[in-house]
């Protein structure tokens, strides 16, 4: 763990100077250098190129070309941008498509897989999965008449999931294993290939949610023999708020699975307007309605930036940054009552760090509403006691990390959080 010189600002600045990806920060809008943004794992920053790219879509494609744009690129856009994502996650270009939200995509694929796997009755997930994924699975089971059941792999320590626990839960009754590649709270990273093999050995299909790994962790879907995947595009892929999600179906499964939502964009010939649905012979059968073109197009410039930087370099920096953050946490924050909610080994860790503290909520308020401090720090609070700090290597600097940890220390040491109300003001 002792890979860094000391706990001083100068070391952070030195790490910045050594950072070969440092110049990529300029490709993103950083409108206020006083804001240290550690929530790129929730909503990625706006790439500069996206502004002009969107302007062209709005004014030229919509404003001038109008309906003609469907034949001039819109119709193929879900596939074309899907292919750029495919190259980031180790899939063939015709195995990834943009469509709907992550939840709706998970619904379509999980529903299809569970029906395909009949008469198997068990669906496996884990206690780390993003709740929306669990909700979607619960909903499918309910609508199938509760003949199926959902088994959640437990975690002993709330930080990692042990392989033996996985092995205990997946059995020959298992229809589908549905897991998040990187856990949204602890950042625990599964060994995709190993877990996929365990599922396949029992004859189960596997569906990975790549929301917290796509764009920051190298993924090899084909090589890992993955059946199905979904993922969000507004986190490390910087596609903008609510950008459409992607879905992946392994080539040989594409004609064996059927979407439960028979929308016209999933039909073989939508513009024939026949009265009877016939599923497309390709991945398109998993589309439903007309995709939101503006939000879809917003995603493209960021994918080009990620390809340009290269995923292995991004991962390398991400590991170095999480290591540096943990190094500082151990020294500066653990004595203040913080505990690490994230795996120590980078081999099982994504690109965010979860800190736990009984006053996490009020500490987050103090970070966002600083008093005299030179920086506004933007983290994510996650119930009940998690402060989630996301490191997005294309624009997060080592000094961002340094300042964030130093300010966290000050907030707790000087009890600056006490003036904030602990009542949650959720907008739900």
- Residue 274 bears catalytic tag: no
Active-site choice (235, 250, 320, 349): 235
62 touches a second copy by CB under 8 A: yes
267 touches a second copy by CB under 8 A: yes
Q: Name residues contacting a second copy, limited to 166-225 (CB under 8 A).
A: 185
136 touches a second copy by CB under 8 A: yes
Beta bridge partners of 356: 339, 386
Measured between alpha carbons, how far is 4 from 109 in angstroms, rounded to an integer? Answer: 44
Exposed/middle/buried for 132, CB within 10 Å: 0-12, 13-18, 19+?
middle
Q: Which stretch binds a second copy (CB under 8 A): 34-42, 158-166, 338-346, 403-411?
A: 34-42
418 touches a second copy by CB under 8 A: no
Q: Name residues contacting a second copy, limited to 234-253 (CB under 8 A).
A: 234, 240-245
Shortest Cβ 139–a second copy spacing (Å): 3
- Residue 7 bears catalytic tag: no
- Residue 395 bears catalytic tag: no
69 touches a second copy by CB under 8 A: yes
- Residue 235 bears catalytic tag: yes
59 touches a second copy by CB under 8 A: yes
Please report the sign of the dihedral spanned by the C-alpha atoms of residue 328, residue 154, residue 167, residue 257: negative
CB atoms near residue 422 (< 10 Å): 11
Q: Give the contacts of 44 (CB within 8 A, at least 6 positions apart).
A: 234, 235, 236, 237, 238, 239, 240, 302, 392
| Among candidate residues 1, 10, 3, the one with its CA nearest the CA of residue 398 | 10
3-state DSSP assignment of residue 269: coil
Shortest Cβ 51–a second copy spacing (Å): 6
Record the tokens describing residue 97, joined without a space. Answer: 């498509």
Near a second copy by CB under 8 A: residue from 19, 95, 100, 209: 100
Near a second copy by CB under 8 A: residue from 154, 203, 270, 370: 270
Near a second copy by CB under 8 A: residue from 164, 273, 312, 347: 273
Q: Name residues contacting a second copy, limited to 289-348 (CB under 8 A).
A: 289-296, 298
Please report the sign of the dihedral spanned by the C-alpha atoms of residue 105, residue 109, residue 115, residue 118: negative
37 touches a second copy by CB under 8 A: yes
118 touches a second copy by CB under 8 A: no
Active-site choice (234, 236, 324, 338): 234
Q: First and final CA of the chain: distance in angstroms?
A: 41
Active-site choice (4, 24, 130, 286): 130
355 touches a second copy by CB under 8 A: no
Near a second copy by CB under 8 A: residue from 87, 253, 261, 319: 261
| Among candidate residues 425, 385, 389, the one with its CA nearest the CA of residue 408 | 389
231 touches a second copy by CB under 8 A: no
Active-site choice (19, 133, 209, 385): 209
3-state DSSP assignment of residue 38: coil
Shortest Cβ 383–a second copy spacing (Å): 6
Q: Do 48 and 28 meet the contact criterion of CB atoms below 8 Å apart?
A: yes
Measured between alpha carbons, how far is 160 from 220 in angstroms, rounded to an integer? Answer: 21
83 touches a second copy by CB under 8 A: no
| Torsion of Cα atoms, 105 then 110 then 113 then 118, to 10° | -150
70 touches a second copy by CB under 8 A: yes
Residue whose CB is less far from a second copy, 90 or 266: 266
Measured between alpha carbons, how far is 26 from 223 in angstroms, rounded to an integer? Answer: 34
134 touches a second copy by CB under 8 A: yes
Record the tokens describing residue 300, joined without a space. Answer: 């493209």
Near a second copy by CB under 8 A: residue from 11, 50, 183, 342: 50
Between the CA of residue 230 and those of 99, 210, 255, 287, 343, what are the distances in Å?
10, 6, 18, 13, 24
- Residue 234 bears catalytic tag: yes
417 touches a second copy by CB under 8 A: no
Determine how β-strand 380-382 pairs with β-strand 386-390. Answer: antiparallel
Kindly determine how many residues on this chain lie close enough to bind a second copy according to the rule CB under 8 A: 96
Residue whose CB is less far from a second copy, 7 or 258: 258
Q: Do 37 and 15 meet the contact criterion of CB atoms below 8 Å apart?
A: no
Residues marked active site are found at: 130, 209, 234-235, 388
């Amino acid at each position: 763990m002792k890979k860094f010189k000391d706990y001083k600002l100068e070391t952070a600045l030195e790490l910045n100077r050594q950072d070969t990806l440092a110049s990529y920060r300029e490709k993103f809008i950083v409108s206020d250098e006083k804001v240290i943004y550690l929530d790129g794992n929730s909503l990625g920053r706006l790439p500069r190129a996206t502004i002009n790219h969107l302007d062209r879509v709005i004014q030229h494609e919509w404003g001038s070309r109008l309906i003609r744009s469907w034949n001039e690129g819109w119709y193929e856009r879900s596939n074309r941008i899907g292919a750029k994502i495919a190259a980031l996650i180790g899939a063939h270009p015709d195995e990834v498509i943009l469509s709907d939200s992550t939840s709706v995509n998970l619904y379509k694929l999980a529903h299809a897989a569970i029906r395909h796997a009949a008469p198997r009755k068990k669906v496996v997930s884990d206690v780390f999965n993003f709740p929306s994924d669990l909700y979607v699975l619960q909903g499918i089971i309910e609508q199938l008449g509760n003949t199926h059941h959902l088994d959640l792999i437990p975690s002993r320590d709330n930080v990692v999931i042990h392989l033996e626990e996985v092995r205990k839960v997946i059995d020959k009754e298992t229809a589908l294993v549905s897991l998040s590649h990187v856990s949204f709270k602890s950042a625990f990273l599964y060994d995709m290939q190993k877990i996929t093999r365990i599922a396949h050995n029992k004859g189960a299909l596997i569906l990975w949610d790549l929301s917290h790994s796509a764009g920051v962790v190298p993924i090899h879907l084909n090589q890992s023999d993955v059946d199905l995947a979904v993922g969000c595009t507004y986190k490390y892929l910087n596609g903008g708020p609510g950008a459409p999600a992607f879905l992946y179906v392994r080539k040989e499964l594409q004609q064996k699975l059927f979407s439960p939502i028979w929308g016209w964009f999933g039909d073989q010939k939508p513009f024939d307007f026949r009265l009877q649905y016939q599923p497309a012979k390709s991945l398109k059968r998993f589309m439903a309605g007309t995709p939101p073109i503006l939000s879809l197009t917003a995603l493209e410039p960021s994918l080009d930036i990620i390809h340009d930087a290269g995923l292995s370099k991004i991962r390398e920096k991400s590991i170095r940054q999480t290591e540096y953050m943990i190094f500082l946490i151990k020294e500066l924050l653990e004595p203040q009552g913080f505990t690490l909610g994230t795996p120590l080994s980078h081999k099982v860790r994504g690109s965010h760090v979860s800190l736990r503290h009984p006053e996490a909520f009020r500490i987050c308020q103090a970070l966002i509403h600083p008093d005299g401090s030179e920086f506004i720090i933007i983290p994510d609070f996650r119930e009940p006691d998690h402060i989630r700090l996301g490191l997005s290597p294309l624009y997060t600097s080592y000094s961002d990390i340094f300042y964030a940890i130093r300010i966290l220390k000050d907030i707790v040491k000087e009890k600056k959080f006490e003036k904030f109300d602990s009542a949650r003001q959720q907008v739900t």
